[in-house]
Amino acid sequence: MLGIWIVVFLFFGTSREISAVNSSTIQASYFGTDKITRINIAGWKTDGKWQRDMCNVLLQLEDINCINLDWINGSREYIHAVNNLRVVGAEVAYFIDVLVKKFGYSPSKVHLIGHSLGAHLAGEAGSRIPGLGRITGLDPAGPFFHNTPKEVRLDSSDANFVDVIHTNAARILFELGVGTIDACGHLDFYPNGGKHMPGCEDLITPLLKFNFNTYKKEMASFFDCNHARSHQFYAESILNPDAFIAYPCRSYTSFKAGNCFFCPKEGCPTMGHFADRFHLKNMKTNGLYYFLNTGSLSPFARWRHRLSVKLRGSKVTQGTVFLRVGGTIGKTGEFAIASGKLEPGMIYTKLIDADVNVGNITSVQFIWKKHLFEDSQNKLGAEMVINTSGKYGYKSTFCSQDIIGPNIPQNLKPCQPQIQL
């Protein structure tokens, strides 16, 4: 035995240690058989802070049994943790079995949330418990798990629903990743392509300084940052049910090119806590992955739009076109749509990832800025702007007959009737 304890966390920080070996500790705790149970499972050498933070956020949303698994004594060294997770997975399965047999609790109400090695540990437990409700894999560990049989790693057969967030899904020697490159669930999400996250330092710049002691620290920080983004994204999603919309696509390259915009008729899942709202019966199991972009700092969620602007004016000029979009909920900042040669009559289109959910579009503002040495007397305007939302593909069209000088905002009004470019 590894001396494993399971700790229940409640909303106000009150906690109680419980153990399947002594079921009276469960009975004496705050465990409720009428509630959903979510068990947070850390990976290698983790102090448990993210687990405590996760419980605190979860309990803001719902009245649940929030349980944190402490197996630090068996996970201090990576290779030992890989070997021990089979035993720990069996203990978690035993704990759930005690809930079923002694408390009449349904395994379908259990949700295991595992980070790194904890994701595979959750899979091991799930493989032993028929009818387990859900497993969420948060950047499942890669080393010793790449291209392995599903029996030894997290797999979609380990629970009724398995969702996975990949944030460092690359081989450690070639692409500097510690997450698995394998798709593991019913839904596999790849924010920002799933390999390296914006806001996490690159490793090339520190290497050029030739300070290898510092570089070792930078490398550890790099892996920690990318790897940890998975549970940071999940935690943010808990109180934001409409955030992190993910789009089915063959590759991140295709997604960035706009080939998978907007959501198909089956809809799009949201990455994170509410991924289980997506109906699996609507899914096409044809090798699609789910992509989205995030910000580099919290709050990370972004909302995808396609903006197209048709220019009007008297002559070609050099400059940059910006748009602001406002809605019933909020307003975006400026987005550069086109830069360089600006030609009246031409249509310029760009995909943007807004840092606010603006709701239904109510306003569009156009502004252009001239490049250095351009004639300041030149005038341009937006004859028409079309905004297409990523979630539903709704289009809003705005028009104007004005042309303006540089740095002067132009407010467009909804076209009557709505027309298309």
C-beta separation of 324 from 412 below 8 A: no
Kindly name the residue from 75, 116, 237, 308 that is annotated as catalytic. 116
Q: Distance between alpha carbon 364 and the CA centroid of its chain, in Å?
A: 28
C-beta separation of 43 from 230 below 8 A: no
Give kind and range of the element (H or E) at residue 50: helix 49-61
Rounded to whole angstroms, how far apart are CA atoms 218 and 214? Answer: 6
Give catalytic status of residue 146 as yes or no: no
C-beta separation of 305 from 390 below 8 A: yes
Within 10 angstroms of residue 313's Cβ, the number of other Cβ atoms is: 19
DSSP calls for 203-239: SHHHHTTT-HHHHHHHHHHHHHHHHHHHHHHHHHHHT
Give catalytic status of residue 116 as yes or no: yes
Angle between helices 212-238 and 49-61 (to 10 degrees): 20
What residues contact residue 65 under an 8 Å CB cut-off, 6+ apart?
8, 30, 31, 32, 35, 36, 37, 38
C-beta separation of 62 from 98 below 8 A: no
C-beta separation of 365 from 410 below 8 A: yes
Give catalytic status of residue 34 as yes or no: no
Does residue 191 sit in helix, strand or coil?
strand
- The residue among 91, 138, 98, 148 whose CA lies nearest residue 118 is 138
Kindly name the residue from 115, 227, 273, 305 that is annotated as catalytic. 227
Task: Name the DSSP letter for residue 49.
Answer: H
Kindly name the residue from 70, 139, 155, 158 that is annotated as catalytic. 139
Residues known to be catalytic: 116, 139, 227
